């Protein structure tokens, strides 16, 4: 084809001039083939002919050829010549349009605006140029700073030519103007949505979608922005502008709660700081915290001077802090710059992570710094409270109390004020400054009578008053407490404390009532026992022994015997024995025996255990208990009796050696006159041991010793009868008769 065209031209120029009737068609053929220089020669030949009917058209097309060649000055000259020579020609209007268009392209907006303004109101302007002319007029008006006029021109275009291709460009421009003027969102969205939906001008559709996405994102409608980006990439993924749209789209996806989409769109974006920052935030939102941490760290390691480095350092500190990695959080927070946007949060993380890692001094300094920052009053108050808590944890009670109190005075209406007063009172109590504590309790109760811990405040105040021996004040405070907070968890303890005050005043009946009230409210085991102990003391003072004994029995049954005084257990065991409450006596006696007391008390305790077992018919258990009592390293009357009873048990079990040991111990120990019966019965027991061993002579001698040494209405007759039997067994009838004669003489009734 190229060869054929060349031959045609060669032949044409060789043959001479083209006929005038064919010259315009010939020039247009050259133009259409891109042979612009040859076409211009032919167009010029036509334009220079006097009265040529196509002169205006030829001149205009010279401009078009030069424009297509990029020779804009030559094109402009041809357009200007067309307008000057043929001002009434339709080509003059098109030439004027091209001149104004060139002014737009050269950013000569004032000249362009004047040119388009002169054209758009012409009735003879070709219809296909009217929409474009109006668009460019509005475009130049806007660039010349006349937004209102531009908006009016765009609206005129939409009214006159709503379906023209340039109408979509006008809609995008109008939307931008109204966005800048904070116009109605419905109108803005309608323009952009319509432009985006049409295919007539792809550039307008693409720009409409990007403008809509940006508009929605800035209005914090992230989901709508993300949807606009979805539509854009579905249609214009290969457009040159698409690459620049990926990062804002990724942020829209992230803000819309689509972190996986944000990560996907930036998958191959490289390690530029803006993309590392985006990926770190998206991974964090997706719960991939380790991945987020690594992205933040890579950004900070590779791009320390990037504008994203500051926010990344802050957000990494936040991530580490929320993950409980307080040591690394502290280090990162200390290294992060205190940018105004997040300085408050960063200082807070520094303080909190320092406290969590045991850096009390650093934490205190950080909290104090936050407290001095009046820009964030709420956080300053929290910082002051935490600083006071650090001093409290360090047991610097005075400083902590002063800090708490100052906070409550500085922010009396704040929700933390009552807690600060409560803590101040607690700290004063810890250092023994009870008067100061009372002042704080009173301040709390006056200002916040309905506070959730008002019951604790009243109770703390009562304790402080008691510590200062202001007993009447303490009693009144406790009465108020019990009236206002009868169901408080502290109510049982308040009853016990009030009861102790009444007890001091010897109001024993009233004290007993308070202790009973405490017990009815089912307190913790320790407090219940304390109430029972105090009530027990009151019952004894009132002479109500049965109730006192029952109280002891209850405590023993509850396993609280270890906390009871030894004397009380001893009394309860004996009282129960006297009342034939043998099981309770045994429990009290065993509890006494289990006390880590002196050998003397151990001897008494095992004796009482033995007696209770005896009363319960448990002979063997009684015998073992008596043996333990007798073998204790002590010398008590109970031990002496236990030795004899041990012997009696061993004798019944035919344990001759053990019985002999027990009776000899009892006999040796019974030295006092009032113990003579035990000695006599022990001697009698030794005789029975000898009898059991069939040592008749020794048995007779032992029995006779009892008769000679003691005059007991029961023991002595038994000894004389037993001696007579043993003499007969030993073959000494005369001695046996003599023993019987003495029995008849001394105890005639026993001899019958």
What does the pLDDT look like over 602-613, one tens digit per residue? 999 999 999 999
pLDDT of residue 532: 78
* Exposure string over 595-614, b if 16+ CB within 10 A, otherwise e: bebeeebbbbbbbbbbbbbb
- Min mean pLDDT across 256-270, 291-305, 537-551, 709-723 is at 537-551
d(CA 664, CA 690): 13
- Min mean pLDDT across 63-77, 145-159, 361-375 is at 361-375
d(CA 460, CA 430): 11
- What number is the average pLDDT over the span 675-684? 93
Please answer whether residues 238 and 232 qualify as being in contact, where contact means their C-beta atoms are separated by less than 8 angstroms. Answer: no
> Confidence band (pLDDT; 50, 70, 90) for 374?
low
- Report whether pLDDT(741) > 50: yes
Q: Which residue has the tokens 């996986």?
A: 260
d(CA 547, CA 619): 30
Q: Which residues contact 230 (CB under 8 A, 6 or more apart)?
A: none
What's the distance, Cα to Cα, between the start and end of the chain in Å? 170
Q: Which residue has the tokens 């101040």?
A: 424
- Report whether pLDDT(11) > 50: no
Q: What percent of the chain has pLDDT over 70?
A: 97
- Report whether pLDDT(508) > 50: yes
- Report whether pLDDT(675) > 50: yes
* Exposure string over 48-66, b if 16+ CB within 10 A, otherwise e: eeeebebbbbbbbbbbbbb
Q: Which residue has the tokens 């008691």?
A: 466
Q: What is the pTM of this model?
A: 0.59
Range of 247-251, 446-450, 563-567 with top mean pLDDT? 247-251
Q: Residue 313 to residues 270, 273, 301, 335, 464: CA-CA distances in angstroms? A: 20, 12, 11, 8, 50
CA angle (474 as vertex; 471, 475 as ends), nearest 5:
85
- Report whether pLDDT(528) > 70: yes
d(CA 213, CA 485): 61
Task: To the nearest 10°, report the CA torsion of 503, 509, 513, 514.
Answer: -10
pLDDT of residue 564: 79
| Token code pair at residue 616 | 């319960």
CA angle (154 as vertex; 152, 158 as ends), nearest 5:
115
pLDDT of residue 535: 83
Please answer whether residues 310 and 336 qualify as being in contact, where contact means their C-beta atoms are separated by less than 8 angstroms. Answer: yes
Helices marked H in 72-220: 72-85, 90-105, 109-120, 127-143, 147-160, 165-180, 185-197, 202-218
> Confidence band (pLDDT; 50, 70, 90) for 3?
very low
> Confidence band (pLDDT; 50, 70, 90) for 596?
confident
CA angle (557 as vertex; 556, 558 as ends), nearest 5:
90
pLDDT of residue 16: 43
* Exposure string over 630-655, b if 16+ CB within 10 A, otherwise e: bbbebebbbbbbbbbbbbbbbbeeeb
Helix (H) or strand (E) holding 352: helix 343-356
Residue (of 222, 223, 191, 185) closest to 209 by Cα position: 191
- What number is the average pLDDT over the span 713-739? 95
> How do residues 316-332 score in pLDDT, each as one tens digit?
999 999 999 999 999 99
d(CA 742, CA 708): 10
- Report whether pLDDT(189) > 90: yes
Burial of 189 (0-12, 13-18, 19+ CB in 10 A): middle
Q: Which residues contact 102 (CB under 8 A, 6 or more apart)?
A: 72, 75, 76
- Report whether pLDDT(8) > 50: no
- Report whether pLDDT(117) > 60: yes
> Confidence band (pLDDT; 50, 70, 90) for 107?
very high
Burial of 749 (0-12, 13-18, 19+ CB in 10 A): exposed
- Report whether pLDDT(4) > 70: no
Task: Specify the higher pLDDT residue, 528 or 419.
Answer: 419
d(CA 465, CA 470): 5
Residue (of 245, 241, 244) closest to 226 by Cα position: 245
- Report whether pLDDT(10) > 60: no
> Confidence band (pLDDT; 50, 70, 90) for 308?
very high
Q: Average pLDDT of the chain?
A: 91
d(CA 446, CA 32): 99
- Report whether pLDDT(2) > 70: no
Tally of CB atoms within 10 A around 487: 7
pLDDT of residue 216: 96
pLDDT of residue 13: 44
d(CA 631, CA 624): 11
């Amino acid at each position: 084809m190229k060869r054929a065209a060349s031959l045609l031209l060669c032949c044409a120029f060789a043959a001479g001039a083209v006929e005038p009737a064919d010259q315009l068609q010939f020039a247009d053929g050259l133009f259409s083939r891109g042979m612009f220089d040859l076409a211009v020669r032919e167009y010029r030949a036509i334009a220079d002919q006097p009265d040529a009917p196509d002169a205006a058209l030829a001149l205009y097309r010279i401009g078009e050829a030069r424009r297509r060649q990029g020779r804009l000055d030559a094109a402009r000259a041809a357009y200007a010549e067309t307008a000057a020579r043929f001002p009434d020609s339709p080509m003059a209007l098109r030439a004027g349009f091209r001149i104004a268009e060139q002014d737009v392209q050269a950013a000569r907006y004032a000249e362009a605006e004047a040119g388009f303004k002169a054209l758009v109101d012409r009735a003879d302007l070709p219809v296909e140029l009217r929409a474009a002319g109006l668009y460019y007029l509005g475009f130049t008006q806007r660039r010349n700073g006349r937004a209102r006029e531009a908006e009016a021109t765009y609206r005129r275009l939409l009214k006159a030519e709503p379906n023209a291709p340039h109408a979509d460009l006008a809609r995008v421009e109008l939307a931008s103007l109204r966005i800048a003027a904070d116009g109605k969102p419905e109108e803005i969205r309608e323009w952009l949505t319509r432009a985006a939906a049409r295919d007539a001008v792809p550039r307008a559709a693409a720009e409409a979608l990007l403008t809509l996405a940006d508009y929605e994102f800035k209005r914090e409608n992230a989901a709508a922005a993300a949807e606009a980006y979805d539509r854009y990439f579905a249609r214009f993924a290969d457009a040159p502008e698409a690459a620049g749209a990926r990062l804002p789209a990724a942020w829209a996806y992230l803000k819309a709660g689509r972190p996986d989409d944000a990560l996907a769109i930036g998958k191959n974006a490289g390690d530029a700081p803006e993309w590392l920052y985006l990926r770190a935030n998206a991974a964090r939102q997706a719960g991939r915290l380790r991945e987020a941490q690594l992205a933040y760290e890579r950004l900070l390691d590779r791009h320390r001077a990037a504008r994203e480095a500051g926010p990344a350092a802050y957000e990494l500190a936040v991530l580490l802090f929320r993950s409980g990695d307080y040591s690394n959080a502290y280090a990162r927070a200390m290294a992060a710059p205190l940018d105004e946007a997040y300085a408050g949060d960063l200082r807070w993380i520094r303080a909190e992570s320092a406290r969590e890692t045991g850096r009390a001094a650093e934490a205190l300094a950080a909290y104090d710094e936050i407290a001095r920052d009046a820009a964030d009053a709420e956080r300053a108050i929290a910082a002051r409270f935490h600083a006071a808590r650090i001093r409290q944890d360090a047991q610097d009670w005075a400083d902590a109390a002063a800090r708490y109190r100052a906070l409550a005075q500085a922010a009396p209406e704040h929700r933390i004020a009552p807690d600060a007063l409560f803590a101040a009172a607690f700290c004063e109590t810890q250092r023994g400054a009870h008067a100061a504590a009372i002042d704080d309790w009173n301040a709390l109760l006056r200002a916040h009578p309905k506070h959730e811990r008002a019951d604790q405040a009243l109770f703390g105040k009562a304790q402080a008053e008691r510590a200062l021996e202001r007993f009447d004040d303490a009693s009144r405070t406790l009465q108020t407490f019990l009236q206002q907070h009868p169901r408080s968890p502290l109510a049982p303890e308040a009853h016990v404390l009030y009861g102790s005050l009444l007890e001091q005043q010897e109001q024993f009946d009233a004290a007993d009532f308070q202790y009973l009230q405490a017990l009815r409210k089912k307190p913790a085991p320790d407090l219940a026992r304390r109430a029972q102990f105090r009530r027990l003391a009151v019952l004894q003072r009132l002479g109500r022994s049965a109730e006192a004994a029952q109280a002891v029995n209850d405590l023993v049954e509850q396993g609280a015997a270890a906390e009871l005084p030894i004397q009380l257990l001893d009394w309860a065991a004996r009282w129960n024995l006297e009342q034939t409450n043998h099981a309770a006596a045994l429990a009290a006696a065993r509890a006494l025996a289990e006390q880590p007391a002196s050998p003397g008390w151990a001897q008494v305790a095992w004796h009482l255990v033995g007696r209770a077992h005896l009363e319960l018919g448990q002979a063997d258990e009684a015998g073992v208990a008596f043996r333990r009592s007798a073998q204790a390293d002590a010398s008590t009357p109970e031990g002496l009796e236990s030795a004899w009873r041990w012997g009696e048990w061993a004798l019944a079990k035919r344990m001759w050696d053990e019985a002999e040991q027990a009776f000899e111990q009892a006999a040796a120990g019974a030295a006092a006159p009032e113990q003579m019966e035990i000695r006599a019965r022990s001697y009698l027991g030794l005789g029975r041991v000898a009898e059991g061993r069939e040592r008749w002579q020794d048995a007779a001698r032992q029995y006779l010793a009892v008769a000679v040494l003691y005059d007991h209405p029961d023991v002595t007759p038994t000894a004389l009868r037993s001696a007579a039997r043993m003499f007969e067994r030993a073959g000494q009838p005369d001695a046996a008769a003599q023993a019987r004669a003495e029995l008849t003489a001394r105890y005639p009734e026993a001899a019958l």
